[in-house]
């Protein structure tokens, strides 16, 4: 792939560059405007009429949008030029002002949350609040858990040297590791990311050594990590008690607008489906010609499935697949190319991986990729453009507070886009190795986001319960970890004693509380939507576009009920899992026909 073929994005619709003079002028104006907003409304929110409240919310959304623009610009520039001094200076200037402005505006949501019940009921009854009722309801639901403005300020400030510092310690310790590994007869020093990447190496012995080296290092540092997790879990409990939460999962569920029964139904359905994951790993061992799949083979690639795809072919493949869903979807995606809103070229100083920056309503989203020309990169392009379509559709109908989808819904359009592209690719692919790889990619993605994340969540629930009884030793976390992984893998994947230290190796379990289930929710939801599309495209497609345009204007349950989905129905999750079962059966046919 010639890098010259690959596009860089054009950020000039935002600002001319990191030195654009209007950035500083706008930041100064923003500070003044935030100050004026606070002078007008602080200590008065509960006394506003419904109409005045809407005026205030409108000004607040404008202010938040205005701070978001330079922030997004700074973060987009840093993602391709993190080491450039001008970019760094601008980034710091913008984030200092952003923190100050956010602190200045924080009172508004706190006052909304603590407004008397009858005042809120009065607001809700007025027609003028219709577009913002969901926002008000959310503020209401969090009200019983919000502390006084002063206490909230103290907690936010103390978290910088408390919770945030522990989490940062974990990042800094693991980022500083230089781990020796013998590759091709010579010993090389590698960081954690490089070692993790070797777990997908074609050479089994390299995979084994990399896997072992990672876990050995986590084992050696496990007393420190156990200390960090004990502290973070206790901090979570202390704050939960202060905020009158009855369960450690409750704050996450409230944020995500999911009830406990839905979480329970989701997790039980997935756990009952573990045997299908085990069946897949059995087939994977067979396809790789291995007697037994070891834990270092779980991420092993299939041989001979590489195919180079030029950038223009990637674009055409994705736009064709999107067009089969709906012409409008293809049109929205096409504009990312014509308006130069994609940075695809890998180069020094550019961030790894891929993302879609959603921006704000009225400002089009951008996509970052590191395109190297394999099929996986084409799927990543579809994924990020799926996010892009979601944002554009939501931006047409929603104002800022209703724009971003809630966490469990955030991956709907992106994963759906990958499914749409995979279906299209499989329909024309004749090479058995490529077909097998395409199916395996989807299945492993599903097992990684559904089964594995539910396993993590179950572990996390049990670990918090153990912490509530007292300090948990490192070996205690290992026991819980091994037990949940025994359930997931059964006898299909043979594990080494070192695997029990895996709990320390998952950054999400350090930085966030109960985040992992949301991946499972999102993926299973997409499978259910996909089935609905297959069954009746003409009914499904308009409803699906409407769902995306809803952004975060309602809870997942309400938005999904409009496409005929009831997430409180236990059989709903099982229907999504049937798509995984079917893919594993298709994979079985491919393997059986290939391996005599
Ligand atoms: Zn995504």
Query: What distance in angstroms lies between residue 237's CA and the mean position of ligand 1's atoms?
Result: 30
Cβ atoms 366, 357 nearer than 8 A? yes
Cβ atoms 512, 543 nearer than 8 A? no
pLDDT tens sequence across 515-554: 888 889 999 999 989 998 999 999 999 999 999 999 999 9
- For 432-450, give one letter per residue: b (16+ CB within 10 A) or e: ebbbbbbbbbbbbbbbebb
pLDDT tens sequence across 498-508: 999 999 999 88
Q: What is the pLDDT of residue 475?
A: 96
Q: In this structure, what are the phi and psi dihedrals at residue 4, rounded to the nearest 5 degrees?
A: -65, -20
Query: What distance in angstroms lies between residue 111's CA and the mean position of ligand 1's atoms?
Result: 33
Task: Answer yes or no: is pLDDT of 267 > 60.
Answer: yes
Element (DSSP H or E) covering residue 560: helix 556-561
Residue 405 has which token pair?
């989808």
Closest C-alpha to 578, from 268, 281, 261, 273: 273
Query: What distance in angstroms lies between residue 58's CA and the mean position of ligand 1's atoms?
Result: 29
How many Å apart are CA 78 and CA 345, to the nearest integer? 15
User: Which residues lie at CB < 5 A from ion ligand 1?
Assistant: 414
pLDDT tens sequence across 301-314: 887 667 789 999 99
How many Å apart are CA 414 and CA 419, to the nearest integer? 9
Q: What is the pLDDT of residue 70?
A: 92
Task: Answer yes or no: is pLDDT of 216 > 70.
Answer: yes
Q: Mean pLDDT for the chain?
A: 91
How many Å apart are CA 581 and CA 172, to the nearest integer? 41
How many Å apart are CA 535 and CA 532, to the nearest integer? 5
Query: What distance in angstroms lies between residue 412's CA and the mean position of ligand 1's atoms?
Result: 9
Residue 109 has which token pair?
């949501």
Q: What is the pLDDT of residue 376?
A: 85
How many Å apart are CA 526 and CA 421, to the nearest integer? 14
Q: What is the pLDDT of residue 22?
A: 92
* Highest mean pLDDT out of 439-448, 458-467, 514-523: 458-467
Task: Answer yes or no: is pLDDT of 245 > 90.
Answer: yes
Query: What distance in angstroms lies between residue 384's CA and the mean position of ligand 1's atoms?
Result: 6
Query: What distance in angstroms lies between residue 592's CA and the mean position of ligand 1's atoms?
Result: 33
Q: What is the pLDDT of residue 594?
A: 66
How many Å apart are CA 98 and CA 119, to the nearest integer? 31
Q: What is the pLDDT of residue 73?
A: 93
pLDDT tens sequence across 411-428: 899 999 999 999 999 888
pLDDT tens sequence across 18-43: 889 999 999 999 999 999 999 999 99
What is the mean predicted confidence (pLDDT) over 2-27?
A: 87
Query: What distance in angstroms lies between residue 411's CA and the mean position of ligand 1's atoms?
Result: 5
Query: What distance in angstroms lies between residue 408's CA and the mean position of ligand 1's atoms?
Result: 11
3-state class of 181 per DSSP? strand
What is the mean predicted confidence (pLDDT) over 154-171?
A: 86
Query: What distance in angstroms lies between residue 402's CA and the mean position of ligand 1's atoms?
Result: 19
What is the mean predicted confidence (pLDDT) over 128-157?
A: 86
Task: Answer yes or no: is pLDDT of 176 > 80.
Answer: yes
284-292 long-range contacts, Cβ below 8 Å, gap at least 24?
A: 284/440, 285/492, 286/591, 286/595, 287/436, 287/591, 287/594, 287/595, 289/595, 290/204, 292/494
Task: Answer yes or no: is pLDDT of 3 > 70.
Answer: no
How many Å apart are CA 236 and CA 242, to the nearest integer? 10
What is the mean predicted confidence (pLDDT) over 102-127?
A: 89
pLDDT tens sequence across 40-80: 999 999 999 999 999 999 999 999 999 999 999 998 998 88
Between the two ends of the chain, the Cα-to-Cα distance in Å is: 36
Q: What is the pLDDT of residue 1?
A: 54
Query: What distance in angstroms lies between residue 41's CA and the mean position of ligand 1's atoms?
Result: 37
Closest C-alpha to 155, from 203, 110, 119, 211: 110
Query: What distance in angstroms lies between residue 523's CA and the mean position of ligand 1's atoms?
Result: 11
How many Å apart are CA 392 and CA 424, to the nearest integer? 23
pLDDT tens sequence across 335-393: 999 999 999 998 888 887 889 999 899 899 999 998 988 888 999 999 999 999 999 99
Q: Please provide the DSSP assignment of 301-342 as one string.
A: PPTT------HHHHHHHHHHHHHHH-HHHHHHHHHHHHTT-E
How many Å apart are CA 49 and CA 502, to the nearest integer? 54
Cβ atoms 405, 552 nearer than 8 A? yes
Query: What distance in angstroms lies between residue 386's CA and the mean position of ligand 1's atoms?
Result: 8
How many Å apart are CA 437 and CA 499, to the nearest integer? 26
Q: At 491, is the pLDDT very low, low, confident or very high (cuts 50, 70, 90)?
A: very high
Q: What is the pLDDT of residue 305?
A: 64
Give the C-alpha distances (Å, rounded to integers) separating 548 from 202, 360, 389, 404, 551.
Answer: 39, 15, 8, 10, 6
Strand runs labelled E in 430-522: 493-494
Cβ atoms 510, 170 nearer than 8 A? yes
Query: What distance in angstroms lies between residue 105's CA and the mean position of ligand 1's atoms?
Result: 29
pTM attached to this predicted model: 0.86
Q: What is the pLDDT of residue 322?
A: 97
> Which strands, in side-by-side order, build the sheet including 366-368?
342-343, 366-368, 355-357
Query: What distance in angstroms lies between residue 382's CA and the mean position of ligand 1's atoms?
Result: 10
Q: What is the pLDDT of residue 444?
A: 94
Query: What distance in angstroms lies between residue 358's CA and the mean position of ligand 1's atoms?
Result: 11
Give the C-alpha distances (Å, rounded to integers) separating 204 from 180, 183, 290, 296, 508.
Answer: 18, 12, 10, 8, 27
Range scoring the smallest mean pLDDT among 69-83, 265-279, 444-458, 480-494 = 69-83
């Amino acid at each position: 792939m010639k890098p010259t073929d690959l596009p860089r994005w054009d950020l000039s619709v935002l600002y001319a560059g990191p030195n654009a003079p209007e950035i500083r002028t706008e930041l100064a104006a923003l500070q003044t405007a935030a100050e004026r907003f606070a002078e007008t409304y602080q200590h008065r929110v509960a006394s506003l009429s419904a109409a005045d409240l809407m005026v205030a919310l409108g000004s607040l959304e404008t202010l938040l949008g205005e701070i978001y623009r330079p922030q997004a610009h700074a973060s987009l520039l840093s993602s391709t030029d993190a080491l450039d001094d001008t970019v760094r200076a601008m980034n710091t200037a913008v984030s200092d002002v952003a923190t100050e402005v956010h602190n200045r505006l924080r009172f508004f949501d706190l006052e909304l949350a603590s407004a008397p019940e009858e005042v809120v009921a009065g607001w809700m009854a007025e027609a003028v609040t219709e577009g913002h009722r969901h926002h008000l309801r959310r503020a209401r639901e969090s009200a019983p858990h919000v502390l006084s403005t002063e206490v909230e300020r103290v907690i936010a400030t103390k978290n910088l040297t408390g919770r945030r510092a522990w989490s940062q310690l974990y990042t800094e310790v693991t980022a500083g590791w230089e781990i020796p590994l013998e590759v091709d007869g010579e010993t090389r020093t590698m960081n954690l990311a490089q070692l993790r990447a070797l777990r997908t190496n074609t050479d089994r012995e390299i995979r084994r050594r990399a896997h072992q080296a990672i876990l050995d290092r986590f084992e050696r540092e496990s007393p420190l990590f156990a200390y960090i997790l004990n502290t973070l879990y206790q901090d979570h409990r202390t704050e939960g008690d202060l905020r009158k939460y009855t369960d450690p999962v409750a704050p996450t569920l409230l944020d995500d607008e999911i009830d406990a029964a839905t979480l329970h139904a989701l997790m039980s359905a997935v756990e009952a489906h573990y045997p299908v994951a085990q069946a897949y790993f059995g087939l994977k061992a067979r396809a790789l010609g291995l007697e037994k799949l070891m834990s270092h083979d779980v991420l092993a690639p299939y041989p001979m499935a590489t195919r180079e795809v030029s950038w223009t072919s990637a674009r055409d493949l994705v736009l064709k697949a999107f067009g089969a869903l709906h012409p409008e979807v293809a049109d929205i995606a096409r504009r990312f190319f014509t308006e130069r809103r994609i940075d695809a070229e890998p180069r020094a100083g550019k961030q790894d991986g891929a993302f879609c920056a959603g921006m704000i309503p009225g400002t089009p989203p951008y996509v970052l990729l590191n395109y190297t020309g394999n099929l996986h990169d084409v799927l990543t392009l579809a994924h990020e453009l799926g996010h892009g379509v979601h944002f554009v559709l939501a931006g047409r109908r929603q104002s800022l507070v209703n724009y971003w989808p809630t966490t469990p819904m955030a991956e709907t359009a992106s994963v759906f886009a990958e499914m749409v592209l995979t279906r299209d690719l499989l329909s024309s692919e004749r090479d058995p190795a490529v077909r097998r790889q395409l199916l395996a990619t989807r299945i492993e993605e599903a097992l990684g986001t559904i089964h594995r994340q539910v396993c993590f969540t179950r572990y996390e629930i049990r670990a918090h319960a153990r912490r509530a009884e007292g300090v948990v030793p490192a070996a205690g976390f290992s026991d819980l970890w091994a037990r949940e992984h025994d359930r997931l893998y059964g006898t299909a994947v043979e594990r080494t004693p070192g695997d029990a230290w895996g709990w320390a190796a998952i950054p999400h379990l350090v930085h966030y509380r109960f985040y992992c289930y949301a991946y499972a929710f999102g993926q299973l939801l997409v499978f259910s939507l996909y089935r609905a599309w297959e069954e009746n495209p003409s009914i499904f497609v308009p409803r699906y576009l409407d769902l995306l345009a809803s952004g975060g204007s309602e809870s997942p349950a309400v938005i999904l009920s409009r496409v005929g989905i009831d997430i409180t129905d236990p059989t709903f999750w099982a229907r999504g899992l049937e798509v995984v079962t079917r893919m594993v059966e298709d994979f079985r046919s491919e393997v059986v026909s290939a391996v005599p």
